[in-house]
Amino acid sequence: MDSLTETERPPGAPRTPYGQRAATVALTALAPAVWGTTYAVTTELLPPGHPLFAGLMRALPAGLLGVAITRVLPRGDWWWKAAALGVLNIGALFPLLFLAAERLPGGVAATLSATQPLLVAGLAIAVLHDRPTAWRWTWGVIGVLGVGLVVLGPQARLDAVGVLAGVGGTAAMAGGVVLTKRWGRPVEVGPLALAGWQLTAGGLLLLPLALAIEGVPQRIDAGAVGGYLWLGSMGGLIAYTVWFRGIGRLPVGASAPLVLLSPLVATVVGVALGESLSPPQTLGFVLALAALLAAQLNSPNAQNDRRRKRAMTTGMPKKTGMTIAVLGATGVVGSRVVTEAGTRGHQVLALSRKPASEHSHVTPIPVDATDAAAVREALAGSATNGALYGAPGGASYGAPGGASYGAPGGASYGAPDGASNGAPDGASNGAPDGASNGAPDGASYGAADAVVLAVRTSPVDRDFLVAATRTVLDAAAQLGMRVLVVGGAGALRSPGDPELPVADNPAYVPAELRAVAAAGIAQLRTCQAHPDADWVYLSPPALLEPGQRTGCYRRGTDTLLTGADGRSWISAEDLAAAVVDELETPGPERHITVVHHDERRDPKTPPLSHNTSAPVTRVAMGRDEDGGDRARSR
């Protein structure tokens, strides 16, 4: 089962999130670097006058090989998605770029291709609702200027058809990048399969064009065979595999500028073949390289703002009277976070598919978690009756039906027998006849101070989970609020063996739950790859189930915790207490976990907090069934 590839596993002990990102950037950069050799290979090795045939040989054999290796075909709507991406990234890109190369000087065509990061930034606003910063716009323009200085000469001329073809090809690939980011890839489908699908689709589009317009070259010598093999292997299947992997792991603002490497590598190859660079060209090379590197960094202002905010909140007295948005408010965890926050005097925005509440401190708002505009409106305090918050295909939240949430042995994380979190016979949480129980028309409420993302689908839908996480992170970053993601235990390290991820440890995650663990890890990766959001990822212990609220738990970072009896367990009620504790008194760590603490079994180990000397005291927060009323005190 390839749902847990090396790209999805938690890092080993030496690897940091910054090291992971640097490695991902370096690997992704190999693709445009290899593409930079295309011009030299085409002019030096391939038969002249057959650019469409060259594109066909680069795409179709490589795509069929990728499908044969993975033996995975698209399913459902991924048939048309793979075809659309194949047309944009391969089928339309190749002929348009070849046409531009024929009608324009190479320098003009390369400069047009360098505008791709700017086009991606513009498309990302509409498709991903990702608003580029001034930092990204500025360096995008500098990158175009740098490439222009390198490749534009005094003999550069413009041709209307060539310019339109160059812009069209660049726009096609920009659209492919943005849609690849938007759609991700299906669960248990790796980047190799995705590359195979798209290369095959693009190659099938090019096949009739190449044969009808150009035909097969009359002579294909050994050098041409080597050129086709290079373009199809390194420049085709391998390059597109690492490219699609990188797009999925990196923000579009970091991946798109890497295409600047193509003209820069082409320039280096030209120098190796005997060409020389003038001082303006050298300056342009430096500017383009600086733009590429700067795109991998966050804006200094954004970094300083996040450091300042985290420094100000860590160690401060606990926050009171917050407005907390909870996405997945009717799920097992989300519903208890709503109750816990309300009991402590916070206002709650309950965002879910069909939210319902009779409490004055709760404002129910139906929202689609992947609708960026609706999520942003809800968090900003301006939504009334928003779009329904539902997983694709009617999947429900809180993993009903007894689905497991990282728990060994099939422990239940949801309502039994498919009940919708306490609503009998699948009723919509108390809403009669399917009523949405949303905020009444024209109702107003304040903007959220923080947002809790506590969604799960049954069956597991990693694509939806990643998309929802990215949507929330984007909206929260724009609004300047903190995000607490209730994730999965699979992203933790195994106790006693930090090199072994919990997701790969059968003692905690049996084979039937590996897809669930993989989805949680993908969610953490989405958080780590986001350039601007202020987030914290809370991994529950191995077993999470409804129970009693004791208010006693131990807190750790990225290693699975166990109790004195060896169990790694917590009730959903105590997990909710930990969630609200973290929001009231944020800590410095970005990945945390908790476990139930029984003082009677383990009196020597106090519950952990950000300050390990902080005591556990009794506060008025409502009694549970055994009369206990203890809660964490910060």
pLDDT score recorded for residue 14: 38
Q: What is the pLDDT of residue 255?
A: 79
User: Do the beta carbons of residue 452 and residue 537 sit within 8 Å?
Assistant: no
314-372 tens-digit pLDDT: 555 667 788 999 998 888 999 999 999 999 999 999 888 777 666 778 888 988 887 77
Q: Is 70 exceeded by the pLDDT of residue 35? A: yes
pLDDT of residue 20: 67
Helix axes 93-103, 106-113, angle to 10 degrees: 140
Radius of gyration of the chain (CA): 27
As a whole number of angstroms, the distance between CA 590 and CA 485 comes to 10
* Model pLDDT, residue 625: 27
- Assess whether pLDDT exceeds 70 at residue 88: yes
- Region 103-115: mean pLDDT is 66
Query: Average pLDDT for residues 64-93, to the nearest whole number?
Result: 92
Q: What pLDDT sits at residue 341?
A: 93
Among 26, 6, 24, 28, which Cα is nearest to 16's? 24
Mean pLDDT of 471-475: 87
Taking 3-state DSSP, the helix, strand and coil percentages for the chain, each rounded to the nearest 5, stand at 50, 10, 35
pLDDT score, position 237: 93
The pLDDT, as a whole number, for residue 471 is 86
Q: Which of 147-161, 287-301, 477-491 has the lowest average pLDDT?
A: 147-161
Q: Is 321 helix (H, G, I), strand (E, B) or coil?
A: coil
- pLDDT for 445: 64
**82 pLDDT band (50/70/90 cuts)?**
very high
What average pLDDT does this structure show over 255-268?
80
CA-CA-CA-CA torsion for 175, 177, 182, 186, nearest 10 degrees? 120
CB atoms within 10 A of CB 138: 14
**Can you count the helices (H) and strands (E) in the chain?**
21, 16
Q: Among 343-357, 420-434, 472-486, which stretch is predicted with the lowest mean pLDDT? A: 420-434
pLDDT above 50 for 184:
yes
- 484 touches 536 (CB < 8 A): yes
The tokens describing 36, both together, are 């930079």
The pLDDT of residue 106 is above 60:
no
Identify the weakest region by mean pLDDT among 214-228, 419-433, 519-533, 578-592: 419-433
Q: What pLDDT shows up at residue 571?
A: 92
**How many CB atoms within 10 Å of residue 25?**
19
Mean pLDDT of the chain: 75
Residue 135 pLDDT exceeds 50: yes
> Per-residue pLDDT tens for 295-314?
777 655 554 544 444 444 45
Q: In the chain, what are the domains?
A: 17-297 (no CATH), 321-632 (3.40.50.720)
pLDDT in tens, 137-173: 787 888 888 877 776 665 556 667 777 887 888 888 8
Mean pLDDT over residues 453-465, rounded?
Answer: 85
Cα angle: 387, vertex 83, 55; to 5 degrees: 145
DSSP code of residue 420: B
Contact assessment for residue 34 and residue 230, using Cβ atoms and an 8 Å cutoff: no
Q: Are strands 543-545 and 569-571 parallel, antiparallel or unpaired?
A: parallel
Contact status, residue 420 vs residue 453, Cβ threshold 8 Å:
no
Beta bridge partners of 596: 553
* pLDDT of 431: 38
Q: Are 629 and 622 spatial neighbours (Cβ–Cβ below 8 Å)?
A: yes
Q: What is the mean pLDDT of residues 511-515?
A: 86
pLDDT value for 414: 34
Question: What are the CA-CA distances from residue 426 to residues 304, 341, 390, 396, 398 (Å)?
Answer: 48, 26, 15, 10, 13
- Put residue 477 in one of left, alpha, beta given phi > 0 → left and psi -120 to 50 → alpha: alpha
**What residues contact residue 466 under an 8 Å CB cut-off, 6+ apart?**
184, 519, 522, 523, 526
565: pLDDT confidence band, cut at 50, 70 and 90? confident
Query: Is it the case that residue 260 has pLDDT exceeding 90?
Result: no
Q: Is the pLDDT of residue 548 over 80?
A: yes
What are the phi and psi torsion angles at 522 (to 5°)?
-60, -35
Please tell me whether residue 570 adopts helix, strand or coil conformation.
strand
Contact 147, 170 (CB under 8 A): no
Residue 623 has pLDDT above 80, yes or no: no
**Cα(233)–Cα(61) distance, integer angstroms:** 9
Instruction: Determine the pLDDT at residue 403.
Output: 35
Give percent of the chain with pLDDT exceeding 70. Answer: 72
Helix axes 191-213, 93-103, angle to 10 degrees: 50
Euclidean distance between CA atoms 335 and 47, whole angstroms: 66
Is the backbone peptide bond immediately before 459 cis, with ω within 30 degrees of 0? Answer: yes
Token reading at 482? 């903190």
Instruction: Check: CB of residue 376 under 8 Å from CB of residue 479.
Output: yes
Residue 111 has pLDDT above 90, yes or no: no
Task: Retrieve residue 415's tokens.
Answer: 């309502």
